Amino acid sequence: MIFTKTELAEVVLIEPKVFGDQRGYFFESFNQKEFEEHIELKNFVQDNESKSTFGALRGLHFQKPPFAQAKLVRCIQGKILDVVVDVRKNSLTYGKYITVELSGENKKQLFIPRGFAHGFVTLSDEAVFAYKVDNWYAPEYDSGIIWNDPTLNIDWKIDKEKVIISSKDQQLSKFKDLETPFIY
């Protein structure tokens, strides 16, 4: 696997070595030893999967302590634009974000530590998205930032009229009003 730091240094892009032939392909999607060597020791406790249609936008989410979560995300089928925002007060990259295209074809993964908001939008007809987390889901600790925040001004690579968003995500706060529990 190739581990590459992004512009948000703690967020790491992971590219597997894919072995293909006439039968199909094989690759390691996770290797604890390599992960610890290149990133850090993590005890992932839950795997999640979602299926989304074109334009479905999920995010920008994070959980507050003591249920903050680090995530290892990937797109198994289809194509998504993944977005990560630094919400750690006093960080040099506070309020900065990155976007990465993840797809069933490129098989890239993204490690997102605690202290970052995360979201994605489906760019293909449908997409299957999977992720590991290092803490349990606790809905009472849910938080996030509205997807179309004017301060962040994220280019989601899709017409705003085509975005499909849950009523819950429509209620998320603006970045300027965010009371982040994360201090760098």
Task: Annotate 37-77 with DSSP letters as a single string.
Answer: HHT------EEEEEEEETTBEEEEEEE-TTS---EEEEEEE
118 is an active site residue: no
- CA separation for the pair 181, 40 (Å, rounded): 22
- CA separation for the pair 50, 137 (Å, rounded): 15
Question: What pLDDT was estimated at residue 9?
Answer: 85
- CA separation for the pair 171, 142 (Å, rounded): 12
> Do the beta carbons of residue 115 and residue 8 sit within 8 Å?
no
Question: What pLDDT was estimated at residue 41?
Answer: 85
Question: What pLDDT was estimated at residue 16?
Answer: 93
Question: What pLDDT was estimated at residue 6?
Answer: 97
Question: What pLDDT was estimated at residue 52?
Answer: 98
Identify the active-site residue in 25, 38, 61, 97.
61
Identify the active-site residue in 131, 137, 141, 184.
131
> Do the beta carbons of residue 55 and residue 164 sit within 8 Å?
yes
Q: Which of 142, 150, 148, 147 is nearest to 176 (CA)?
A: 150
Question: What pLDDT was estimated at residue 101?
Answer: 98
What residue ranges of the chain have pLDDT lower than 50? none
Name the amino acid, one letter, at 46.
Q
61 is an active site residue: yes
pTM for this one? 0.94
